[in-house]
Every structure is written in C-alpha cells, then in structure tokens.
Amino acid sequence: MNTNEPRPPGKTTIDPGVLITIARLSTLSVAGVSRMGEVPASVKRILRRGQEQGVSLKIDDMVVDADVYVILHAGVNVREASRAIQAAIARAVSDMVGMEVGRINIHIDDIDYSAAPAAGEG
C-alpha cells in the first residue's frame, strides 16, 4: 500500500455539547464575567440545541448562532464585556471546529455585587 496516496475524506460530526462547552469556557475567560446566567424557560421551549449552562445554540447549514446568558461583575463596562464575549466565542468556534459563526447575542442577566467593597470601605 502506498502511504503517499491521499486518503478519501471522511465525515466529522461535532456534538452540540462541544460547541456549548467552547462558548461557555470562552465566555468565562473574559474579564468581568462573574458566571453564566440561566437560559429562560421561554427559550427552552423553542426547538434549540444546548439550553443548559447559560448557552442556547442554533445550528443551521454549518452556521452557529448563539444566545449567551451571563452575570457580570459590578463596575464592568457592559458594552465592552459583551463585545469581548462575542469576539472570544467567534474566534474559538472558528479556530477549534472551523464552523462559521452567525449571530452571538449576549444577554446580561444580572450584576454580581458580592465582590464589591462594603459601604465605607476602599
């Protein structure tokens, strides 16, 4: 058998859970993100993939659309954090699985004040 011959292409299947993990970890790596939020029950009823862990995905013709629900730390610029999350997810999905990224909608569920200094301090 000649090892220099190209192998016929096969098929690669990516479980939506992999994309959810990529989106979730990319989101959590952005400065200012406290934790993931919860996907609303109304969104869960719509036929979508991956409605857990703060990420809801829609995959159509190898294009990934995502709704990401996050809780930010107090004092974070919401617009900058949202754009950073969008960029991080788009880059990771494109680089890691080679899929095209459509819309990445960021939903700010809450602001985490637990790490903020107490009144009268600092």
pTM: 0.80
Whole-number Cα distances in Å, 5 to 1, 2, 70, 98: 9, 6, 49, 25
List per-block mean pLDDT (blocks of 10 residues) for the chain, which spans 122 residues: 70 88 97 93 53 83 94 97 98 96 97 68 44
Ordered domains of the chain (ranges, CATH)? 16-112 (3.30.70.1350)
